[in-house]
Amino acid sequence: MAATATLAVRHPLLTRVLWADVVISGPFGLLLALAAGPLAGLLDLPETLLRVAGIVLLPIVAFIAWVASRTAPPRWAVLAVVDVNALWAVTSVILLLAAGLSPNALGIAFVVAQAVAVAVIAELQYIGLRRSVTRPA
């Protein structure tokens, strides 16, 4: 069985971006979950979609916080965070284009802006991971 790699030295960029993800995504998930009704009216997006997105985001944020809090997180865990963020960004755009949604201009801007922000965070996390030093577990 191959040993899994852990980060022996986390690059400061990775640490900062992981925590920034938690600080931004946690309140965003709560906002979506708790204010889905008013947001739905403002954005012309389905309330259920917004509420479910917020609820799904909360355990993801908890996992990112766990990864960020490790002195030497497993490489697979950091890659999982990067992958989930990339998937979130791509899925957001796909839903906007293919799900038969009819958001208003503000709704379109909202979905695109958060997708771009999440994609940038994923890229920065990946750069930080590449700059980190790994060792076998």
Residue 50 token pair? 């917004």
**pLDDT for the residue 24:** 98
Q: Is residue 3 part of a domain?
A: no
Q: Which domain holds residue 46?
A: 9-130
Q: In b/e form, how buried is each residue of 17-49, taking b as 16+ CB within 10 angstroms?
A: bbeebbeebbebbeebbeebeebbeebebeeee
Adjacent-strand bridge partners of 7: 134
Q: Is residue 43 part of a domain?
A: yes
**pLDDT for the residue 2:** 52
pLDDT digits (tens, 9 = 90+) for 70-98: 988 999 999 999 999 999 999 999 999 98
Q: Is residue 65 part of a domain?
A: yes
Q: Is residue 96 part of a domain?
A: yes
Looking at the structure of the chain, the number of domains it has is 1
pLDDT (mean) for 53-72:
97
Q: Is residue 137 part of a domain?
A: no
Q: Is residue 135 part of a domain?
A: no
Tell me the pTM.
0.91
Q: How many residues does the chain have?
A: 137
Quick check: 61 pLDDT over 80?
yes
pLDDT (mean) for 49-71:
97
Q: Is residue 121 part of a domain?
A: yes
